[in-house]
Structure formats: structure tokens, C-alpha cells
Amino acid sequence: MSVNALPKATLTVDLNPVFTGEKVTLTCSVESDRYWTEYEWYKGNAFNNNRLSQYNRATLTVNSVKESDQGLYWCQGIRNSRPTSSSISDQVTITVKALPKATLTVDTNPVFTGEKVTLTCSAGSYSYWSYKWYKDRSNNAVTQSDRHSITGDTLIISRVEESDQGLYWCLGERTYRPTSTSISESVYMSVNALPKAKLKLYPTSPYIGETVNLTCSVNSKSNWRYNWNKDGSYIPVTQSGRVSIRENNLTIRSVEVSDQGSYRCQGDRQHRPTSTSTSNQVSITVKALPKATLTVDPNPVFTGEKVTLTCSVGSYSVWTRYDWYKDNTFYQSIASQYNRAILTINSVKESDKGLYWCQGIRNSRPTSSSISNQVTITVYDLPSAVSLTVHPNRTQHFTRTSVSLSCEEKGNSTGWRLMRYTDRGTESGCVSYNGTIEGSTCNIRTTLIQDSGVYWCESGSGENSNAVNIT
């Protein structure tokens, strides 16, 4: 009797060892005969029923290997005709290795809006990894953007926003086995809002020349320094003639139209959070002061006349007083008597000529009007009623010649006489021993040296004509 050996079964494995998540294929081949109707698979000294129910063919494929798939495998071919089975194959041990572990770290957590945060993904072994990043869902991959930068093993998020808050994880990939790391454990990144800065303005609608105060307050934390912005431009923290910054207050004195604009503030400091949010916007609109107008009646004016200056303000009411100015100086002596809208000078003198302006003052805002237009008051001397004329018309005369001095009247003036001043004092002008008076004329027939002097005409009321020096 001859005994034949059963056909030999051989088991091969395409990948061994294999990493979790990979696909592995086991192939059972019988060396002779054909038509093996099914194949039985064994693992760990036990018939692999569940594998048999799915894989009774010559190949057994495990699509996503788990650690539980590690172990000892063998196979056997089965058919209906003799020989009804092959030999049992050699045993093959499949080794399952864990994927390299990916670890995700976040340098700052929680993070404040506007800050920069760096996420780092590291694999415990192997090299040449490229990394993928995911947020909230496994199919929500984080990609490059103007705020998201992926370089090597880092994801940098600049100018963090509240929408960046959430669960993050990472995964390493490469072209050769193992082609990926495990998925890292998820890390929840919290995003906190920056402390809020609030800007207040007083007064809300300033008038030209008033003082304006802006106050920047922060709802939490301490040790803040404050930056100020006007129309998007940084206002440096420097003192000037009108602008001063102290702690959280910006003060503008004698506000001008050029100070109009949109203002914001922001706090900063050395430790986190290093800044506040940018404050609400406050707009400064500078109003013109009520207009003061100065009128003068009459102008020009003659000495001795009365002149009236009127200061009128075009809007608002109840102006409690009026300030008057002359030649760039506060008109103190007049102001003590005339703090009303009308300034009257009853008997004008030559010293009253000059440049005048006025300003309205009151207790409630606006506390003053604009400074009025400037008006120059011109003062003329009253014209003399008589003038002195000399014939011949010269100031130097020779002795023993004739001279005629006449007080020539203007208008209805009467009672003029000729006067003379010499080293002896004031005396009648027609005292020469050979002088005669005809009406208002003094005729000196023969001049002498003692006839020299200053001559003028004088009225009974004390008015004087022009003076003539005769030698």
C-alpha cells in the first residue's frame, strides 16, 4: 500500500510587520491539483470562524489592521473530491506595530483676540513628516490664509479671532511606511476677548477756545498705558502748548477747528493681555463762537465830540457783560464803568484814537462770543475859527521894514486879538511903538529887533489860532 502526501499549502503575507490602520493581505496557495473550493483560516490555534464566513477564498484581506489582529496564522485548502484537503500551511506570525504617536501642543492657551498663537505637532519617531491640521471636525482641514501659516511642524495663527476657538488635532504624513502617524489627542484652544476700552468726551460739542477732555477707561486689569488715535493716525504721547496727556486723560486746551476728527484709544502694557481692544469712536465737532460785531458812531470824530461804540452778538441771549479792548490791551479803565453792550466816550481826546474790539461774556456755554471785528477810531482836532496870516509871508524879516499880521475870521467867530510870546512873557501882539491896529490887523510900519516873538490869535473864550514864529 502506498501512502501519498497531501498537497502542500503555503501561506504568504504581503506586509509583515504591519502598522495599525494599514491593509494586509494573506494568500493561501496549494502546490498541486486545482479546484480548491474553499480555504480555511486559523489564528492562534483556533479556527477563525468569522474570517471563514467572510473570506473562504485563497486570500484574506484585513483592510484596517488593529492591534488585536496580531498573532499566529495558518491555512488549509478544502474541496469535494479526493484529496479533500491540503496539508495545513506553515504558521506565520503577523506583528502589528502602533503608528508613531503625534502630539499637539499650544504655546499659549487661553489666547486673547489679536494675539499670535503657535500650535506644534511632533511625532515620536521616524522622520520626514509633513503635517495636516484639523479643527472641530475630521474633514475640516486648516489651510494657509492671511492669518494661518503652516511651516514644517507648526501652525501659526496671527491676529487671533473668536472664530479660531475650538478643538484642534494634527496628523503626520509621509511617502513611505509608516505613511502616517496616529491622530493626536485633541486640544481645545480657548479665545478670550481683550479687556474693553471705553472713550468718553466732555464737552460733547465744544466751542472754539474751550478745553476738551477725553477719558479712556478699561473694564478690567491694571497698569495700563494709553495710546491715542485721531483719524487713524497715532498721536504721540508728548506735551505741547495745547495738548497734554496724563494717565488716561487727553486734554486739548483752546480747541481749534483743526482738532476736529474721530478719536479712539487703546491700553497697552508689558504682560498679557498686552493690549485692550480699540475703544469706541468719539467724534469732536468744533462749533464756531457766536459772532460779535462792533459798530462806531460817528467815525472819524473830532476832539470834544461824543462817540458811541456798540457791541452786538448775533445769537444766544443773556450776555452778562462785554469786554472791551483797545490797541491789543484790555480796556480796564473803561471796562470798570462800561461792561454793557454800549461804550460811550463823552468828550473825545486825541488819546482816544486807536484800534478797538469787543467780546460778549456770559455764565453758561458758550461762555464767550468771538472777538469782534476791529475798528480804528480816528480823532481829528477841531478846525480853528481864525487863522494868523503874515504879510509878507515869511518868518524872517529885516529891521526897518513893514509887516502886517492879520487874524482872519472863519464863520461867525468874533472877538479875536493878536497875542505874542517873548522872553518877557505873553503880551498883546501889537505893542510896537509904531504899530497900529485896524480891525483884526496889526500893522508895524518899521520893524525892530524887539518885535521878534511867537504870534497867534486868541479869542475871548480861550481858543487859539495857529502860531507863527517871527524873527
Q: Quick one: 208 and 278 in the same domain?
A: yes
Q: Quick one: 243 and 302 in the same domain?
A: no
Would you state the pLDDT for residue 171?
Answer: 93
Q: Quick one: 256 and 184 in the same domain?
A: no
Q: Quick one: 91 and 106 in the same domain?
A: no
* Boundary-marking domain end, from 380, 415, 439: 380
Q: Quick one: 305 and 256 in the same domain?
A: no
165 inside domain: yes
The CATH number of the domain where 93 resides is what? 2.60.40.10
Would you state the pLDDT for residue 6?
Answer: 92
* Boundary-marking domain end, from 352, 380, 408: 380
Q: Angle 73-64-22 (CA atoms, 0-180°, nearest 5)?
A: 85
Is the four-CA dihedral 28, 30, 35, 37 of positive or negative sign?
negative
Q: To which residue does cell 477707561 refer? A: 217
SS3 49: helix
Question: Per the omega criterion (within 30 degrees of 0), is the bond before 110 cis?
Answer: yes
268 inside domain: yes
CA distances 164 to 115, 157, 192, Å, are 11, 8, 11
What's the number of domains the chain is made of? 5
From first to last of its 471 residues, the chain has per-residue pLDDT tens of 888 899 999 999 999 999 999 999 999 999 876 778 888 888 887 665 545 444 568 899 999 999 999 999 999 999 888 899 999 999 999 999 999 999 999 999 999 999 999 999 999 788 889 999 999 977 789 999 999 999 999 999 999 999 999 999 999 999 989 999 999 999 999 999 999 999 999 999 999 999 999 999 998 767 899 999 898 877 765 667 899 999 899 999 999 999 999 999 999 998 899 999 999 999 999 999 999 999 999 989 888 889 999 999 977 778 888 888 898 777 654 544 456 789 899 889 889 999 999 999 988 899 999 999 999 999 987 766 677 788 888 878 888 888 888 877 665 545 677 777 777 777 776 766 567 777 777 888 888 888 787 887 877 666 777 778 887
Q: Quick one: 179 and 229 in the same domain?
A: no
Would you state the pLDDT for residue 311?
Answer: 93
pTM exceeding the 0.75 threshold for the entire prediction? no
Would you state the pLDDT for residue 396?
Answer: 83
Nearest to 392 by CA among 443, 450, 327, 449: 443
Type and span of the H or E element at 53: helix 49-54
Question: What is the residue type of 421?
Answer: Y
| Contact between 282 and 262 (Cβ < 8 Å) | yes
3 inside domain: no
212 - beta bridge partners?
A: 252
Q: Quick one: 432 and 450 in the same domain?
A: yes
Q: Quick one: 333 and 392 in the same domain?
A: no
Question: Per the omega criterion (within 30 degrees of 0), is the bond before 100 cis?
Answer: no
Would you state the pLDDT for residue 47?
Answer: 65
Q: Quick one: 211 and 259 in the same domain?
A: yes
Backbone region of residue 46 per phi and psi (left: phi > 0; alpha: psi in -120 to 50; beta: other values): beta
462 inside domain: yes
* Boundary-marking domain end, from 54, 70, 97: 97
CA distances 327 to 68, 330, 375, Å, are 106, 8, 10
401 inside domain: yes
436 inside domain: yes
2 inside domain: no
Q: Quick one: 124 and 188 in the same domain?
A: yes
Q: Quick one: 296 and 320 in the same domain?
A: yes
Would you state the pLDDT for residue 113?
Answer: 94
316 inside domain: yes
Please give the residue range of the domain that contains residue 185: 102-192
Q: Quick one: 420 and 444 in the same domain?
A: yes
